[in-house]
Every structure is written in C-alpha cells, then in structure tokens.
Amino acid sequence: AGIENLPCELQRNFQLMRELDQRTEDKKAEIDSLAAAYIESVKNMLPEERVEHLKKIQSAYSKCKEYSDDKVQLAMQTYEMVDKHIRRLDADLARFEADLKDKLEGSDFETPGSRSLKKGRSQKDKRSSRGRGRRTSEEDTPKKKKLKGGSEFADTILSVHPSDVLDMPVDPNEPTYCLCHQVSYGEMIGCDNPDCPIEWFHFACVDLTTKPKGKWFCPRCVQERKKKK
C-alpha cells in the first residue's frame, strides 16, 4: 500500500484500539458489579452458587485480558506499518538525493587512469547499494565536472547529518562500515588498500570534508604500511 493510504489505515487502527479499550472498561465495570453482588450475598449462597458466581467473575477477567492483548497486538502492527513506510521513504530519499546531486554536478566521464573495480569491493557495493548514503573512492567514482556555484549548493542542500540517520530505525541486516561500525550515510570514501578489512569510511570519521586527490589509505592501513617499512 502507498503512503497515501497511511492516514486512513492509522485512523482505522486507532478506532479499533479505542473500541477495544471501551470494551475493557465495560467489562471492568461488570466485574465490579459482580464482585459487589458476591460480597453482599455470599453468606446466603449455596456452595454451588458461590462457585458459579466466581466463575462468572473469572470469565470476565479473562475477557479483559483478551481485549488488552488484542489492543497491544494492534498497537504493534500499527508501529510496524509506520516503520515500513519510514524505511521506504528513507530509501527513496537517498536515491533522490543521489540523482539530484548527479544532475547538479554534471555528467560523469572516465578518467584515463581509472582502474577496474576490485571484485570484493564491487560485491560489497552491490550489497550496500540500498544504504543510507553515497560512497566515493579514487578507483570506483569517476571525476565529475562541477557547475559554477553548483557544488557548494549541492553540498548544502544534500548534506545528511549522521545523528539524523542514526536516530532512524536500523535494519539489523544492513551492513556496517568505518571505524565507528555504523551503517553507511552521507559521503563515504574507499580505502585503496585491497586488503583493507573495513574498506569504506565516513568522511567525518577520517577527518575529511572533500575527496582527496590520488590514492587514499585509511588510518589503520597507513599504520600497517609504516610498520612494514
């Protein structure tokens, strides 16, 4: 169902929850009445009548529990329904931002020194193409011609604050990256070490604001290279 149907679905679920709540209140009033009648006449009741009266009270309590369980289940379904639409909008927004930024920056063209994608990185990129941000690296993102004044405008309107993304519900199956072990968001850069165990890093986590020229190695790989020397 499209998001345009969400208000009607929410209204219907909230109405059902209200009806269940009213049934629960009515049943609680019935229990109070049965309990008062039992206390008032218990001394004059036969044992069989007492048992029968207590069974009525117990049955009313069981009904109350059923109504409450139904209300909780309906609330959970409503939450999941809203959460599903939020995730869909999140994915659509990421695609829209990527398309808009491509249009603002101009058409892509291959650089003479561009290399073929590494097999492992290509597979990881495919798996994470539904992530929350765009990734850039020297070897898998060609240079783009920038429109005058367009780059600053694009960076301003398309910037995604990490906290905004991390506050959203996260799919437990979505892969994580970077030194912070979080899902992808905003601009990301790939380490040019083919054996890098992480591969992708958020700009902010590695103190970058723009993509550097030439090859780029993450802090861990830089330390490893120094040790080998």
What pLDDT, on a 0 to 100 scale, did the predictor assign at position 85? 87
Instruction: Give CA–CA dist 185/187, Å, rounded.
Output: 7
Higher-confidence residue of 4 and 133: namely 4
What pLDDT, on a 0 to 100 scale, did the predictor assign at position 139? 42
- Give the range of the structural domain holding residue 95, as residue numbers without chain letter: 3-106
Q: Which residues contact 83 (CB under 8 A, 6 or more apart)?
A: 169
Decide: 163 and 124 in contact? Cβ < 8 Å: no
State yes or no: 64 annotated in a binding site.
Answer: no
Report the sign of the C-alpha dihedral through residues 43, 49, 53, 58, in that order: positive
Final residue before a domain boundary, out of 90, 106, 122 = 106
State yes or no: 178 annotated in a binding site.
Answer: yes
Domain annotation covers residue 59: yes
State yes or no: 202 annotated in a binding site.
Answer: yes
Higher-confidence residue of 1 and 44: namely 44
- Residue 217, domain CATH: 3.30.40.10
Final residue before a domain boundary, out of 106, 129, 146 = 106
Sorting pLDDT into bands at 50, 70 and 90, what band is 113? very low
Name the domain count of the chain.
2
Query: Could you give the percent of the chain with pLDDT greater than 70?
Result: 69
Q: What would the pLDDT profile of 173-191 be if each residue is shown by its tens digit?
A: 678 888 888 888 778 899 9
pTM, rounded to two decimals: 0.41
Domain annotation covers residue 148: no
Domain annotation covers residue 180: no
Sorting pLDDT into bands at 50, 70 and 90, what band is 172? low
Domain annotation covers residue 159: no
Domain annotation covers residue 181: no
Report the sign of the C-alpha dihedral through residues 169, 173, 174, 178, in that order: positive
Decide: 191 and 215 in contact? Cβ < 8 Å: no
The 3-state DSSP class for residue 140 equals coil
What pLDDT, on a 0 to 100 scale, did the predictor assign at position 184? 80
State yes or no: 8 annotated in a binding site.
Answer: no
Domain annotation covers residue 113: no
Domain annotation covers residue 192: yes
- Region 186-207: mean pLDDT is 89
Q: What would the pLDDT profile of 114-129 be if each residue is shown by its tens digit?
A: 444 443 444 444 344 4
Final residue before a domain boundary, out of 68, 86, 106 = 106
What pLDDT, on a 0 to 100 scale, did the predictor assign at position 143? 36
Q: Which residues contact 40 (CB under 8 A, 6 or more apart)?
A: none
Domain annotation covers residue 166: no
Report the sign of the C-alpha dihedral through residues 166, 209, 200, 223, in that order: negative
Which of 1-10, 51-60, 97-106, 164-173 has the lowest average pLDDT? 164-173
